[in-house]
Structure 1
């Protein structure tokens, strides 16, 4: 834009019939230099070495016919229809996922802002100025003047010779990709949490059913004991012990019902709304069992949290380039092209065109150590990002190793507790038979009945833990969330904004 204090053009403004040609040519040349000729001072990125062993401890070799996790979507891995409905509801109603989506949008907008800094900002405008200068200030006497002007301006566009702006844009891009990977990690976490909570609810349903069966059985036993007590066949102590057995089962049901209500509330928060379920026993077919761990290095591409940590590491690496570039001269351009005239009717007449082109260069000389400390800060954050990346890998390795060991040892525990339950059932039967024949006091029956109920409850809990370990393994290996997403995850090559394809 231009201003005019009198009828003569300012000395820095040149008018010609082709007034815009010089400025436009300079702007195009500068844009070409800025987009294609800048260098980058960012360090070359090298992925840190894996801080974990090359193989899983105790993991079996992959078997033929098994599917790697990345190829199994959650609908295939969780065939239970009730669980599938819950997961679908959670993917649309979970508030943590909504927050994650908004963070992706926020990071995308930030990247768009940084990307826009690599292009000139053109603004159009017009103005009218009228003024009077007193004669005491001018040798020729006072002047009354007016000026009309319209034009296009560009203010302080930086020619990115050292890659400062591009490094900031690259850092913003990596942060955007990290936020999208974090969204996928949150999606996987929600899927696993819904499955785990669902299994826990089914465990509680089955334990409640077992406890209610026990109540029915002990109620019948108590009825018989009362009749036998009335006729003097048993002592009052035996009657009270039978009542204690029934009361213990009733107390257990109350505790389990309270736990189930609490778990149902937790599941409602996960899925975003109350989720009434039909009680059902635990079933090994609730989850897909044939899952191989593969190699630890495959986690780098499969686990979204590791992908997010690496993108943040890349962002920190790019910020070092921006901090280094601050030590070098900064070249900016300011320019304008348009028309100016003292009369409105001649504003667009021949000879009214004007343009101005003002390059500016600044070199930091003294900044009290600001640039040096900014570089040290960028290096420290990059080191922190490396440590965080390595920690994420180590935690992922532990998650997989824990899930593998749980799957192996819980299966053995289920078998042992199944055998124990068979033995406890036989013990309870023999104890009752001995008591009926007068060979033992009722205390032996009491202990046997308690141990039998505990064995049934523990077996149900362990079976649920075994199924939960398969869910944990699915999540630890980076599970398939492809079908949970409505859009494919973006990459640096296919991100688009409203302005068009991104570079």
Structure 2
């Protein structure tokens, strides 16, 4: 029988022990630079802490097969196209039209036929006098930056979940192995106590206690085995595999380097989820400007040039060319309060 005795322990610190140098073990940099370190990618940031080939394989499989990450990538691509669309009004638009028409006019019983061929190029350009278009471009740029940050946050979240599942599996396998060795030790102890009891040198109480230890260890071994299988299934589900208990992770991954301490709160902007929220605020602010500028008149220039002729071969003749250029503006007068409502919604 083994008896363990635990004694309470306490520690006493002399007054003034740290008064001379309270930051003796803390290295504080002379300055912080929050502008030169971009948000690290998963491969260059999180995984760099643990150079473990098996864990990297699990993380890469999770990043390649996760449907939420694919949806985030699709939203990022959509935001990129919307940004290109928002930039388009800043440059003139050009369109081409062409046609052919034939008409007959009867004067008495005499028909007079007329055929006309037309081909024109039309250009239009809205002058961004109030900055409405540029504000819309800023809003779309903020949306794209937010989508980029969301995508990066999704990658880091999936990688972190996969690494946590890997650590849980390692811990479960370590505990399972420890419980197996513990059971083997109790079984050996039971055999020794049983031989002593059969030889008449032991007592029934020791035998019952040894048998109880074996049964408790077996029950704990079953629980440890279930926990190990659950951790393996969770890791398999994260990596896009069939949820089975075949995943394995036997050793703790080595820690390549420590995490820097003493980071100021301004570096929280390096977190992609916080950066995404900040970019959405900027986009919303730009949309308020767009809604406000939409109350002002719009100025635009239009120009067209082409050819009109009754004979198709005369299209190359400069004598039949026509052109026009004009400037115009439109101002909202009555719209049922639509623009005011959009401004109120943007400010909400």
Name the TM tier (shorter chain): 0.7 to 0.9
Change (3 A) 1:376 1:61: farther
Per the alignment, in what secondary structure is the counterpart of residue 183 of structure 2? helix
| Contact residue 68 and residue 293 of structure 1 kept, 8 A | no
Matched residue pairs, number?
Answer: 313
| From 299, 302, 315, the counterpart of 1:331 | 299
Q: In the alignment, which residue of structure 1 is the partner of 2:58?
A: 86
Q: How does 1:31-50 map to 2 (within 5 A)?
A: none
Q: In the alignment, which residue of structure 2 is the partner of 1:123?
A: 95
Per the alignment, in what secondary structure is the counterpart of residue 325 of structure 2? strand
The reply to whether residue 298 of structure 1 matches residue 270 of structure 2 is no
List alignment gaps of at least 5 residues for structure 1: 1-57, 381-503
CA distance in 1, matches of 2:178, 2:283: 55
List alignment gaps of at least 5 residues for structure 2: 1-22
| Contact residue 80 and residue 287 of structure 1 kept, 8 A | no
Task: Compute the displacement of 1:257 (Å).
Answer: 2.1
CA distance in 2, matches of 1:96, 1:305: 15
Q: In the alignment, which residue of structure 1 is the partner of 2:121?
A: 152
Q: How does 1:75-474 map to 2 (within 5 A)?
A: 75-133=47-105, 143-154=112-123, 157-231=125-199, 238-273=206-241, 276-280=247-251, 282=252, 285-286=254-255, 288-300=257-269, 302-380=270-348
Moved more, 145-154 or 70-79: 70-79
Query: RMSD across aligned C-alpha pairs, in angstroms?
Result: 3.1
Per the alignment, in what secondary structure is the counterpart of residue 161 of structure 2? helix
CA distance in 1, matches of 2:236, 2:210: 39
CA distance in 2, matches of 1:213, 1:315: 60
Q: In the alignment, which residue of structure 2 is the partner of 1:396?
A: none
CA distance in 2, matches of 1:63, 1:93: 42
Per the alignment, in what secondary structure is the counterpart of residue 122 of structure 2? strand
Task: Compute the displacement of 1:336 (Å).
Answer: 2.3
CA distance in 1, matches of 2:214, 2:265: 52
Deviation string 1:131-165 (CA, Å, 9 cap, x unpaired) is 235669xxxx975322112222236x432211222
Q: In the alignment, which residue of structure 2 is the partner of 1:32?
A: none
Change (3 A) 1:230 1:322: same
Change (3 A) 1:64 1:323: closer
Per the alignment, in what secondary structure is the counterpart of residue 258 of structure 2? coil
TM-score of the two chains, using structure 2 as the length reference: 0.78
With CA pairs under 8 Å and 6+ residues apart, which has the higher RCO, 1 or 2? 1
CA distance in 1, matches of 2:335, 2:146: 33
Task: Compute the displacement of 1:203 (Å).
Answer: 0.8
| Contact residue 335 and residue 358 of structure 1 kept, 8 A | yes
Deviation string 1:453-477 (CA, Å, 9 cap, x unpaired) is xxxxxxxxxxxxxxxxxxxxxxxxx
| Contact residue 176 and residue 228 of structure 2 kept, 8 A | no
Moved more, 321-330 or 192-201: 192-201
Task: Compute the displacement of 1:61 (Å).
Answer: 4.3
Task: Compute the displacement of 1:278 (Å).
Answer: 4.2
Task: Compute the displacement of 1:64 (Å).
Answer: 7.0
CA distance in 2, matches of 1:68, 1:349: 67
Q: Which has the higher helix share?
A: 1
| Contact residue 330 and residue 362 of structure 1 kept, 8 A | yes
Task: Compute the displacement of 1:113 (Å).
Answer: 0.9
Q: In the alignment, which residue of structure 2 is the partner of 1:424?
A: none
Change (3 A) 1:351 1:264: same
| Contact residue 173 and residue 249 of structure 2 kept, 8 A | no
Task: Compute the displacement of 1:234 (Å).
Answer: 5.0
Q: How does 1:7-18 map to 2 (within 5 A)?
A: none
Per the alignment, in what secondary structure is the counterpart of residue 317 of structure 2? coil
Q: In the alignment, which residue of structure 2 is the partner of 1:464?
A: none
Change (3 A) 1:98 1:128: same
Per the alignment, in what secondary structure is the counterpart of residue 263 of structure 2? coil
